[in-house]
Amino acid sequence: MRILLILFLLFSFTFTKGQSLHYWSNKFNTESSLLGDAVVAGNSGIAAIYFNPSHIPESDFNQFSLSANLVNLKYAKYKNGLGQGIDISEWGFRVQPRFISMIIHSKRNKNISYQFALFNKSSNDIYIYNDYFDNSSDGYLIKGNEEEYQGIFDYNSSYSDYRPGFGIGFKLNKHWKAGAALFGVVKNYYSRRSVNISVNGYQADSTEYGATGYTEDKLNGYDVRISGSVGISYRGEIMAYGLTIHLPSVKLWGNTDVLKVIQQSKYNLPDTLLPSFNYDESGKYRYNNFKDPLSIAGGLIYFSPGNKVKYYLSAEYFFPVKRYKIIDGTKVVSSQKDNSDKSFQPGSALLDYWFSAKGVINIALGFEYDLWEKVDLMAGFKTDFEAASEQSTGETYNDLTMFHEVPFNFYHINFGAKFSIKKSSIIAGAQYNTGRRNDYLQYANFKDIMAYDETANRILQGPVQHQMDFSIHDLGFYFGILFGF
């Protein structure tokens, strides 16, 4: 227990990087990962507390496990992301642990087992930057003049969802098991997106003129919640079945700092051509609510004669989430309502963020082959469909996807091996993920320049179009160690 507490504190203070559009983005680096997480019906190993707590009593001895570092490489491309012919690309590299667990069997009742775990359910980091430069002999602001145009796009986003949990499992009889789990949910997030544009030119009399436009929106906060799940499973000679219900999470505490800036300025230009203005509003300790939906998962396993080969199938349906304020810029958390600082006072609706999610069903397939007595080969595939509803596609300034993340369907392929050594085991594997989204709304448009677009809060750029093609490729390597005692 002392080791588990120390590791919990390390996780808590090291990773403070919060809502993903993908419910199955978890990469636990456990035995379940090798099987594509198609383990609702059984053989989920140390991930039983999450996939189906009725499987906690499956092992015959106490266990402590640690999934070691995951090395993850990512490449993403946003074709036409900043206008026709202006692409953005992103390379990412990350190393971090994922899952720590301890399973203890009751000494008083051999049919009861307990599990303590700390794991990262999902995380995402995005950093994209582009500095675009162009010039025109026909002018952007004044026709016939030679002008220079520069547009800088800077977007940085980080999200994590860590969960400490406790589970209990019961062997009801030879075939049936049941279990329940309770989780703390700690969501941390940071997002900043800015667009900085400048246009400069010369009049016929050599008088210099120009204009600048700047927009920025920034979020930084956390949300602490509590959630739970219940599960039941049946195991026969050639088939096994499982069912898990994941309950919606409930908010405990948390808040968000919000900043929005919209500026346009000029020199030596008439107001009729381009008005100047400056809007800058920020708010601290805004109320947030990062909901998790109700979901129901089911699965089955087929055991071939002699148990040489096993086939796995799991599916999970996530219920829709109605449109709601995920961040309320007009509401300060109760602990700060008496603070006299201006930034702590309720703000305008421009600081609001809205979100909604559609119903989604994901499917996972797994395969296990007993190569030798102590070596098992495993492979898996799973879908990871995006959950953003049409109301949350980022087409208005406040109705955004979570931190401007492009909604796309993700597909995961896993393969690897498990090596058993007495009561302990080692797993090693790899995971390849890919996804794409065509004709999505551009982040900005540094083509077809126009003055301030009041309907969309865009300055010195053209109207954004559904012309961005997004693609991503992600490759990871991992291993895990399980100690039995």
* Helix%, strand%, coil% for the chain, nearest 5: 10, 60, 30
Measured CA to CA, the distance from residue 115 to residue 169 in angstroms comes to 8
Half-sphere exposure of 223 (CA within 13 A, CB side): 25
Question: Do 200 and 208 contact (CB within 8 A), yes or no?
Answer: yes
Residues 189, 221 contacting (CB under 8 angstroms): yes
pLDDT of residue 4: 35
419 vs 414: CA distance, rounded Å: 17
Output the CA torsion sign for 412, 155, 325, 437: negative
User: What distance in Å separates the CA atoms of residue 42 and residue 50, rounded to the nearest whole number?
Assistant: 12
Whether pLDDT at 15 is above 80: no
Quick check: 404 pLDDT over 80?
no
Question: Is the model's pLDDT at 398 over the cut of 60?
Answer: no
**Distant-in-sequence, close-in-space partners of 472: CB < 8 Å, separation ≥ 6:** 74, 75, 76, 77, 408, 410, 433, 434, 435, 436
Residue 143's pLDDT band, with cuts at 50, 70 and 90, is confident
Number of domains in the chain: 1
Q: How far apart are CA 355 and CA 373, in angstroms?
A: 51
- Within its chain, how far is the Cα of 388 from the centroid? 12
Rounded to an integer, what distance in angstroms lies between the CA atom of residue 463 and that of residue 475? 35
Of 110, 29, 13, nearest to 68 (Cα)? 29
Between CA 38 and CA 300 the distance in angstroms is 8
Closest CA to 441 of 403, 387, 404: 404
Per the structure, the complete domain to which residue 295 belongs is given by 2-484
The pLDDT assigned to 436 comes to: 94
Give the C-alpha separation, 149 to 136, whole Å: 8
Residues 253-297: pLDDT tens digits? 999 999 988 888 888 887 777 778 888 888 889 999 999 999 999
pLDDT tens, 413-454?
999 999 988 888 888 899 999 999 999 989 889 987 765 555
Helix (H/G/I), strand (E/B), else coil: 47: helix
Please tell me the distance from the alpha carbon of residue 267 to that of residue 381, in angstroms, as a whole number. 58
Q: Say which residues have a Cβ less than 8 Å from residue 395's Cβ, sequence separation at least 6.
A: 441
**Residues of the chain above pLDDT 70, percent:** 87
Q: What amino acid occupies position 401?
A: T
Q: What is the CATH number of the domain that holds 283?
A: 2.40.160.60
Q: Which residues contact 286 (CB under 8 A, 6 or more apart)?
A: 221, 255, 256, 257, 258, 327, 328, 329, 331, 332, 333, 347, 351
Residue 279 CA to residue 260 CA, distance in Å, equals 8
Residue 467 has pLDDT above 90, yes or no: yes
- Could you tell me which residue, 211 or 71, shows the higher pLDDT? 211
Joined together, the tokens standing for residue 245 give: 């219900």
pLDDT of 340 > 80? The answer is no
Three-class secondary structure assignment of 191-232: EEEEEEEEEEEECCCCCEEEEEEEEEEEEEEEEEEEEEEEEE
Neighbours of 477 (CB within 10 A): 15
Buried b / exposed e along 372-391 (16+ C-beta atoms within 10 A): eeeebebbbbbbbbbbbbee
Amino acid at 341: D
pTM, two decimal places? 0.87
Q: Is 56 helix (H, G, I), strand (E, B) or coil?
A: helix
Q: Give the model's confidence band at 381: pLDDT under 50 very low, under 70 low, under 90 confident, else very high.
A: very high
State which amino acid sits at residue 220: N
